[in-house]
Every structure is written in C-alpha cells, then in structure tokens.
Amino acid sequence: MRRLILLIVLFSACSTIEKSELSSSSSSLISNIHFFNTGNAFCSIVTCPYEKKIFIYDCGMKSGKNERTYSKIQIKKEFEKHLKGNKITLAVSHADMDHNSLLPLVLEGDISDIFLGGERGDYFNLEEFLGKTSNAAIKSGNDLKALENNKIYSCGNQSAKLLSTNVGTKPNSKSMIVKFSLGEIDIILSGDAYGENERYTALNAKKDLRNIEILTASHHGSSKKGSNSEDWARVVSPKTLIYNAGTHNGYKHPRCEVVYRFNPYLKTEKTHRLSCYDQILKSINTKKSEFNVGDYKKLTIKIKGNLYSVETDELTFNPSSPHR
Ligand SMILES: [Zn+2]
C-alpha cells in the first residue's frame, strides 16, 4: 500500500512538470498582427511574445473615415499599450502620408532600426521625427535596395524579409514589399505597390511567394497602374486577403473587381460583410476570407502554434492551419 501511495505521488509530480513545461512552450505563445482603421490608410503592429520587441509597418491617417475610425487619441493609447518597454523596428513602405503621418504622434521609445521605402529626402514631413531618433539605424535608398532578399527583423520564431523596394520612381512604386513569417504562417505586406512592383517581386522573390497564408492588397485594393493584377493573385494565391481601405473614400478603394479577382484563391469563412466600390460603394456579403479593415475598428490576425485566426471587434473566425 505504501509503495502504491509513493507511485501516485511520483506520477502526479511528473504530470505537474509536464503541464508547466507545456504551458511555457513556444506553441502556447500568441503573436498578433493588428491592423487599425485609420481611414483610407495603413497602420499595423506585429507583437512578439518571445522577446521585448515589436515591429511596426506603416501608420498614417487619411480620408475615408467612418464612425469606427480611430481618433488620434485612441490610436496613441493603442500604441502606448503595445510599445511598453519594447525595442521598436519600424518599416515605412513609402513616403505617402497615409502610411506615415501618425508616426511622430504614436512612436515614442526605443527605436532600434528604421527602414524607409524610397529616399530619406522623400520624408520631408518626418524630418523632425527622424532627427530625434538618433539611436536608430536608418536605411533607405540604395542602402535599403541592397537588403533585398535579406532579413530585416527577427524575434523568436518571427522574421521579416525585404522582398523588394524602389522598383519605380513614383512614391507608390518605391513601396517596400515585406514577407513576415511567424513560424509556419507567412504574410505579405505590400504597401501601395503598383503592377511593376508586383511583377518585379514575382520574379525577384519567386520562392518566397510559395504557400502564403495572408496578403495585404496592394494600394488599398486599387486596380489602377496594374495593382492587384491577375498574375499577382495567381502567383501569391493567398488564403486570406486584407484591404487597408476606408469606406466613403474618394479613391474608391478597394475595387470590387479586385475582390472578385482574388476570390478563387481564398479559403471559406462564415458570412460577413465587405465594403468595395464599383461605381458606388457596395456592402457585399462574402463567405471568403477577405476583410476590409475599414469595416471594423481593428482587425487582428492571431497566431498560435501553426494556426492563425482572424478576429475583429465584431466577429471571430475559426483558426486555420497553414498551406503545407
Ligand atoms: Zn496609400
């Protein structure tokens, strides 16, 4: 009897160890990619649960606001919550203000690296802000171009790789296209890429475009200047597509024709609404994994182990496994 009691005690001690090991294992840690509704603009944060680091890709504000759009005070509070004590890596896709106008307001603290699509001189509105970031290593122009196909950030099982930048001479065609990998989940962040950026990237980084789970539509879902082309949709074949567009914006982003173009590649979700433009603004019901950030306040991609799910302030969608 005494031996039996000893065995039970030993067994329960082992179970406790296994449980505590399991709960602290990396598979239970959650990474989040937050997209904020700041109008017809782009503002995103990638959190890292492994180290005190954070990755910011663009943060600007523009027209196309609605009742769900963040106010400047609200977005500052969101950033304060996420930045606390973290070392910041900042990537700004290109110099247009809808991608960077909020940075001086929301970014305070320890910025270690700054990557600027285009030339530093293009960022006249950020000159004062950049002047205060004396501890940060700033890369732009040819220095950034030289980093194509290289990692520009890593944290735990996360990494960001620069696929292309400064392809053309217009602000949009200088957009940085970045592949962000979180374990087995890959996401392409594409700024305001034109068709020429998409074609260049498809050739230059062919292998990196295999098995992509999530894509942000180029140029807020525009179909002008070759953005979001048929070829790009086929090459990337994302399971989930995110439009960083406002509603009621004069640019008519995203275009419904772009939405229909990507539909064959997207996975199925429960029915939800999606705002897009033909001649006028439409609110369509879709079962495809496509979301316009402007339809919500915040949209979050939550990654746990090898599963990712899309969460908005209204709906949570079922977790999905990666392509492989
Ligand atoms: Zn833009």
| Nearest one of 148, 147, 192 to 170, comparing CA atoms | 192
Does the structure show a pLDDT above 50 at 250?
yes
Measured in angstroms, how far is the CA atom of residue 271 from the centroid of ligand 1?
Answer: 28
Q: What is the pLDDT of residue 321?
A: 81
Measured in angstroms, how far is the CA atom of residue 58 from the centroid of ligand 1?
Answer: 10
Map the chain to HEC letters: CHHHHHHHHHHHHHHHHHHHHHHHCHHHCEEEEEEECCCCCCEEEEECCCCCEEEEEEECCCCCCCCCCCCHHHHHHHHHHHHCCCEEEEEECCCCHHHCCCHHHHCCCCEEEEEECCCHHHCHHHHHHHHHCCCCEEEEHHHHHCCCCEEEEEECCEEEEEEECCCCCCCHHHCCEEEEEECCEEEEECCCCCHHHHHHHHHHCHHHHCCCCEEECHHHHCCHHHCCCHHHHHHHCCCEEEECCCCCCCCCCCEHHHHHHHHHHCCEEEEEEEEEECCCEEEEEEEECEEEHHHCCEEEEEEECCEEEEEECCCECCCECCCC
Measured in angstroms, how far is the CA atom of residue 220 from the centroid of ligand 1?
Answer: 6
Does the structure show a pLDDT above 60 at 6?
no
pLDDT average, residue stretch 79-105: 96
- Residue ranges per domain, the chain? 30-312
Residues whose Cβ atom is located within 5 A of ion ligand 1? 98, 192
Does the structure show a pLDDT above 60 at 226?
yes
133-153: per-residue pLDDT in tens? 988 999 999 999 999 999 999
> Distance from CA of residue 169 to its chain's centroid?
24
Measured in angstroms, how far is the CA atom of residue 57 from the centroid of ligand 1?
Answer: 12
260-300: per-residue pLDDT in tens? 999 999 999 999 999 999 989 999 999 999 999 999 999 99
Measured in angstroms, how far is the CA atom of residue 77 from the centroid of ligand 1?
Answer: 23
Instruction: Report the percent of the chain where pLDDT is more than 90.
Output: 82
**Mean pLDDT rounded to a whole number for the chain:** 91
Does the structure show a pLDDT above 50 at 13?
no
pLDDT band for 25, please (50, 70, 90 cuts). Answer: low
163-215: per-residue pLDDT in tens? 999 999 999 999 999 999 999 999 999 999 999 999 999 999 999 999 999 99
Q: What is the pLDDT of residue 324?
A: 52
Measured in angstroms, how far is the CA atom of residue 191 from the centroid of ligand 1?
Answer: 7
Measured in angstroms, how far is the CA atom of residue 2 from the centroid of ligand 1?
Answer: 73
Measured in angstroms, how far is the CA atom of residue 16 from the centroid of ligand 1?
Answer: 51
Measured in angstroms, how far is the CA atom of residue 40 from the centroid of ligand 1?
Answer: 7
Measured in angstroms, how far is the CA atom of residue 95 from the centroid of ligand 1?
Answer: 9
Measured in angstroms, how far is the CA atom of residue 35 from the centroid of ligand 1?
Answer: 14
Measured in angstroms, how far is the CA atom of residue 37 from the centroid of ligand 1?
Answer: 13
Q: What is the pLDDT of residue 190?
A: 98
Measured in angstroms, how far is the CA atom of residue 206 from the centroid of ligand 1?
Answer: 25
pLDDT average, residue stretch 298-318: 92
CATH 3.40.50.720 fits 30-312, yes or no: no
Measured in angstroms, how far is the CA atom of residue 277 from the centroid of ligand 1?
Answer: 16
Measured in angstroms, how far is the CA atom of residue 211 from the centroid of ligand 1?
Answer: 26
pTM above 0.85? Answer: yes
pLDDT band for 132, please (50, 70, 90 cuts). Answer: very high
